[in-house]
A and B are shown apart, each in its own frame.
Chain A
Amino acid sequence: MNLQFVVDGLLTGSMIGLGAIGVTLTYSILRFSNFAHGDFMAWGTYATLAVVSAIGAVVGKVAPIAPLSFGWPLIAALIIGMALTGLLALLLDLVLFARLRAKGQAIIVVMASFGASMALRSLLEFTFTSRPTYFSRAIQIAMPVGFGIRITPDQIALLLLTAVLVLGVHLLMTRTQTGRSMQALSQNAALARIVGIDVAKVVRVTWLIGGALACVAGVMIGILIQIRPFMGFDMLLPMFAAAILGGIGSVPGAVLGGLIIGLAEAGAVQLIGAEWRAAVSFIILMAVLFVRPVGIFGVRER
């Protein structure tokens, strides 16, 4: 068996994991499954692409940072794209989710997110067409690193970026007052208010983090694969699988769940064929949930 699937799996797993952090936070803090989360990815990617083009139009062609396929405009655009995606999530919450949440029925909010997902996706198709596009058409040479594994400089950079972001979010959740407030809100919303936590503010932070990470995951897909309006929607089920597998509410769990599913998918493609790709992750999900219904890092409530 060729060990190349490890690199492929880690990369897919990183994309799934970064997306799953947003899913798991929205689920545990706002208590609904946000089906529009995949479309935040796609919107973030197209926003980043638009900013890259705008920078290109203003400053002209910029040489990539060797040995990567992209230069500083993409990095700058990614940061702006993260902010824009966070704002998109905030805006959607303001006009849609917050109003429905106030009425108190979770299922209505879930259905609304499904509708928002379709609307966001259609808007992308309308604006950018459904033809795939790319950040760069340059071909990168994958370097052999032993054990039959080859990896491109872009892939190494993005794996490192994922590690830094995951560590950052984990530290934010466990070491800062904002993170503790988010944990508190997910465990007992009424008590959170009593101890002085401004719920509206914590909800805003949650959307900003989820949106920003969705943008990074989308841009990763854009750099390594391609940019399409459906790119995020196609990630939706693996992201939910990862969030549930890791244990709802757990940031490390979401990432670990993403890596497990990414590796399983990549391994399955090699061992039993590409058509089983999606099925394998769900077989693993079900097997883990039979043994441990709350997920890997999940805790039974009370």
Chain B
Amino acid sequence: MSQIVLDVRDLEAGYEPGVPIVRGASITVSKGEIVVVLGPNGAGKSSLIKAIAGLVPITSGTVTLDGKDITSAPAHTMVRLGLAFVPQTENIFPLMSVEDNLKVACGILRPRETPARIEEMYAAFPDLVRQRRTVAGNLSGGQRQMLAVARALIVHPKVLVLDEPSAGLSPKFVAMVFEMLAGIRKSGVTILLVEQNAKAALAIGDRAYVLVEGKDRHEGVASELWNDPVVAELYLGQRRKASEKGSAA
């Protein structure tokens, strides 16, 4: 295995003391990988990555990024440490223009570097160029997601962490978002992703973890997990049966 970028060990985290939502989860993400975290509703997937990003208090365990301990670092220092997080909802500033949404995220870049970096983002996400003066709240769901991802990538993160990027999007946009993530990985960015849409996520992922009751219960190669009986039992069971009965979902 290549170099490990993000190493999460025995993480315990929760909003209230004594009520852990994440209960001893361990995951690793290697350089250039897309790692997917799956799990039933309420398994603590979202809380796990929010804890990694400094948004949910960690009670024990460690988070190491590129060899550096970043456990419980304040959320606003994460981009400087190399971790960029894209929340599931409300992940743009709705009253600011697209361009200002990008600019405001450039705080850790040198001011001289910023304009060129914004142009690079426009080149990578051409849909955003036409909307650069548009107030971000007026963008479509898919474009908002693009803006949120571009805003996260603009600071050259070592790892991009996304919370259910396909949530609330129409099927057309879901396909677009996963295509975009596959493209981002090709450009060399390491990605950690939480998803409800297991099939689509496993299609672009390298490895995946199944989180149950706040703990990683199973790990495997993404393309094999879909047919893994343990996964089926842990989580995918009913959902897959349902989708196999219908047409290919």
Residues of A within 8 A of B (CB): 177, 180-181, 183-184, 187-188, 190-199, 299, 301-302
Contacts and interface: CB of A to CB of B under 8 A. Distances in A.
Given A184-B96, A195-B105, A302-B137, 7 more contacts: A180-B96, A184-B104, A190-B90, A193-B75, A196-B108, A197-B104, A199-B76
Chain B interface SS verdict (over half): loop
Q: Which of A195, A197, A299 is the most central at the interface, judged by chain B CB atoms within 10 Å of its CB?
A: A195
A194 B55 contact: yes
Interface of B: 53-55, 74-80, 85, 87, 90-96, 100, 103-108, 111, 137, 151, 155
A5 to B, nearest CB: 36
Nearest to A174: B100
Contact of B93 (A177, A184, A199): A184
A196 B93 contact: no
Contacts of A184: 93, 96, 104
A196 B137 CA distance: 21
A185 to B, nearest CB: 10
A279 B85 CA distance: 50
A191 B87 CA distance: 8
Given A177-B103, A177-B104, A181-B107, A194 B93 contact: no
Contacts of B105: 195-196
A199 B100 CA distance: 18
A183 B78 contact: no
A299 B104 contact: no
A165 B174 CA distance: 48
Nearest to B76: A193
A188 to B, nearest CB: 6
22 contacts: A177-B103, A181-B104, A181-B107, A183-B93, A183-B100, A184-B96, A187-B93, A187-B96, A188-B90, A190-B55, A190-B90, A193-B74, A194-B76, A194-B85, A194-B87, A195-B151, A196-B77, A196-B105, A196-B107, A197-B76, A197-B107, A302-B137
